[in-house]
Amino acid sequence: GMSGPGFGLIGTGFMGRAHAIALHEVAVVFDDIARPRAVCVSDRDDERAGRAAAELRFERATGDWRSLLKDPAIDVLDICTPNHLHFEMARAALAAGKHVYCEKPLALDVREAATLAAAARESGAVHGLGLNYTANPMAQVARELIAAGEIGDVVHFTGRYFEDYMADRDGPFTWRCERALAGAGALADLGSHLVNMLHFLVGRPQRVLGEVHIAIPERRDPATGALRRVENEDIARALIELESGVPATLEISRVATGRKCGLTFEVYGTRGSIAFDQERMNELKLYGAGQAAARAGYQTILAGPAHGDYARFCPSPGHGLGINDLKVIELHNFIRAVECGEGFYPDFDEGLAVQRVMAAIETSGAERAWVDVEH
């Protein structure tokens, strides 16, 4: 038809807003899809939802997200709520025959994630997760270079995801500090992206030796003024043995003072290496072995029309994409999956695989021993 899938968006914070921007932009950037409809937006109550509908330009609003399930104008349930709500909302959406586009992490634990992944597989619906960093054209270039053997055989991967949004010890206690609402801490919030990147570039972990650590054990609840115990980790670290036998290291922190979006990875091969830093998301560093010794060094590849979907946004190299553009690319992939039956990555199966690695890191930390990743 003339119009694309109808979206029901739940949650209008940081990510809800990013999803709304992408919804309005995606059919301008990409001309191979019909324009999706911003049908209805939901938040905790009618008043909040109504305000969001005006700001984010949705046709309707509701304080009751369950009403979206019965709404025939809605094809996709778009979940941008805190982590503990993903399970209930995604499960209900799949049962109601809707496609589901859900923010990461998929769920609070492996049991929930496995239930969702199975329900998604059986439903025939499109299911996708907002693990947007692998949608970056430069991450795709890295993957292609590695797959094409440009750096030889991969011998080592190291990745970090450092941010400082909880580095201030006077910062508030939020839902992200609470087990029942967030699940794990930095591991779920940031580590989910990093594990997805590891899978995307080089493969899956076989076993892990992990450790989690709480740096700031108490924070003040802004509602009550009382100090509350932080229930999940600020820092997570893991030594990993991949299925291929290649060693990998992951390090994750939400208290890394000075780091704003420090998702970095380095992949070393027998004939070259690749390095990336999300704070410079339009650059990829590539080193090729065999250079003249006096001038050997990394070359900086600047994002441009030669890379993935970049040309849809801009005809000139070096001008740069931003985080909201990654959401546009991700949403485009999702709508192609809905309209044309193309596969979507990362889907709920990837969400489950990520959850299993995170669980293994936590278990290993508790047992202080190597732990096999469940398959």
Q: Element (H or E) spanning 281, and its range?
A: none
Q: Where do we find the tokens 């939020």? A: 174
Options 7, 8, 100, 103; binder of ligand NAD; rule CB under 6 A: 103
**Residue ranges in 22-61 that form contacts with ligand NAD under rule CB under 6 A:** 42-44
Task: Please identify, among the stretches 78-86, 110-118, 146-154, 356-364, the one whose residues bind ligand NAD according to the rule CB under 6 A.
Answer: 78-86
Interface with ligand NAD includes 82 (CB under 6 A)? yes
Whole-number Å distance between alpha carbons of 196 and 112: 18
Interface with ligand NAD includes 130 (CB under 6 A)? yes
Interface with ligand NAD includes 83 (CB under 6 A)? yes
DSSP per-residue codes, 207-239: EEEEEEE-SS-EEE-TTT--EEE--S-SEEEEE
Interface with ligand NAD includes 90 (CB under 6 A)? no
Extended beta strands in 43-174, E state: 60-62, 76-79, 99-102, 127-129, 154-162
Which CB, 90 or 151, lies closer to ligand NAD?
90
Interface with ligand NAD includes 132 (CB under 6 A)? yes
Which CB, 221 or 243, lies closer to ligand NAD?
221
Which CB, 83 or 282, lies closer to ligand NAD?
83
CB of 244 to ligand NAD, least distance (A): 28
Which CB, 84 or 156, lies closer to ligand NAD?
84
Options 8, 9, 10, 308; binder of ligand NAD; rule CB under 6 A: 10
Give the alpha-carbon dihedral of 69, 74, 75, 81, to 10 degrees: -60
Options 14, 124, 224, 225; binder of ligand NAD; rule CB under 6 A: 14
CB-nearest residue to ligand NAD: 13
Options 7, 65, 161, 344; binder of ligand NAD; rule CB under 6 A: 65
Q: In terms of Cα–Cα distance, which of 97, 45, 10, 30 is closest to 311?
A: 30
Task: Please identify, among the stretches 7-15, 117-125, 151-159, 194-202, the one whose residues bind ligand NAD according to the rule CB under 6 A.
Answer: 7-15
Measured at the alpha carbon of residue 100, what is the angle toward residues 90 and 202, in degrees to the nearest 5?
100
Whole-number Å distance between alpha carbons of 107 and 275: 30
What lies within 8 Å, CB to CB, of 211 at 6+ separation is: 236, 237, 238, 361, 364, 365, 368
Q: How many residues bind ligand NAD (CB under 6 A)?
A: 21
CB of 85 to ligand NAD, least distance (A): 6
DSSP per-residue codes, 283-315: EEEEEETT--GGG---EEEEP-TTSTTHHHH-S
Task: Please identify, among the stretches 10-18, 136-144, 145-153, 211-219, the one whose residues bind ligand NAD according to the rule CB under 6 A.
Answer: 10-18
CB of 298 to ligand NAD, least distance (A): 27
User: Per-residue b/e over 131-170, b at no fewer than 16 CB within 10 Å?
Assistant: bbbbbbbbbbbbbebbeeeebeebeebbbbbbbbbbbeee
**Residue ranges in 158-217 that form contacts with ligand NAD under rule CB under 6 A:** 189
- Residues of the chain by 3-state class (helix, strand, coil), percent to 5: 40, 25, 35
Interface with ligand NAD includes 116 (CB under 6 A)? no
CB of 230 to ligand NAD, least distance (A): 17
Contact 71, 3 (CB under 8 A): no
Which CB, 55 or 243, lies closer to ligand NAD?
55
Q: Site residues (CB under 6 A) for ligand NAD? A: 10-16, 42-44, 65, 80-83, 85, 103-104, 130, 132, 189
